[in-house]
Amino acid sequence: MKTIWTLIKKDLLRDARHPWGLVVFMIIPVLTAVIVSLVFSPRADFQKNVRIDLAVLDRDDDFLSGVLRSVAGQGQAAENLRLHMVKTEAEGLRMVEKRKVSAFVVLPQNLTTDLLDGKPAAMTLYKNPAEAILPRIVEEGLLVVCSGASEALKLLQPQIKGIRDMMGRDKMPGSLEVAQIGASSIDRLRTV
């Protein structure tokens, strides 16, 4: 036991003569913890400062593209996402080149109809090469929206077909028919 105390005393005396190694060794974990807490802490002022400018060319101009546009104007998305509607693809690309937007999305013609018919549809995304993070956020957001819409359409396909059939008729649908479709939609969603 005496030899252990002698070794500890010897190490402490050596560290007392050259304390910088011990100081650095003790400061590194503290600095790492401070940096991690600063980066990952939920600060409201940081979240308000992040704004994604997104140019959108809507060639579809139908129900689903309208829903996508309206979602961007509500809640947290309204604070952090600014849509710039453009008339031509050249105008959107020019905004990307001039670094006015983080990304440019082209919603194709017949997007709503193709999705409701179960046909494949593709949106085009142009990312600003001068930015690294915000275009990636747009890309991931689009993937989430597309995956969610695709799965929702698969899940509610019979109900959507019923709604489209009702809309194609010349007369107003009956209340009972509308209620049945609504109830069956809710039942389908509860199975998820």
pLDDT, position 47: 52
Residue type, 166: M
Over residues 48-100, the pLDDT tens digits come to 567 889 999 988 888 777 777 777 777 776 778 888 999 999 999 999 999 99
Q: Is the pLDDT of residue 183 over 80?
A: yes
DSSP per-residue string spanning 93-145: HHHHHTTS-SEEEEEPTTHHHHHHTT-----EEEE-TT-SHHHHHHHHHHHHH
Q: Where are the domains of the chain?
A: 2-40, 45-136, 157-190
Assign domain 45-136 to its CATH superfamily: abc type-2 transporter like domain (3.40.1710.10)
pLDDT tens figures, 126-181: 999 998 888 998 888 888 888 888 888 888 888 888 877 887 788 888 888 888 88
In whole angstroms, give the CA distance from residue 142 to residue 149: 10
In which band, very low, low, confident or very high, does the pLDDT at 14 lie, cut at 50, 70 and 90?
confident
Q: Is residue 121 scored above 80 in pLDDT? A: yes
Rounded-to-integer distance, Cα 27 and Cα 23, Å: 6
Predicted pLDDT of residue 178: 83
Tokens 């969603």 appear where?
189
Q: Contact at 8 Å (CB) between 58 and 72? A: no
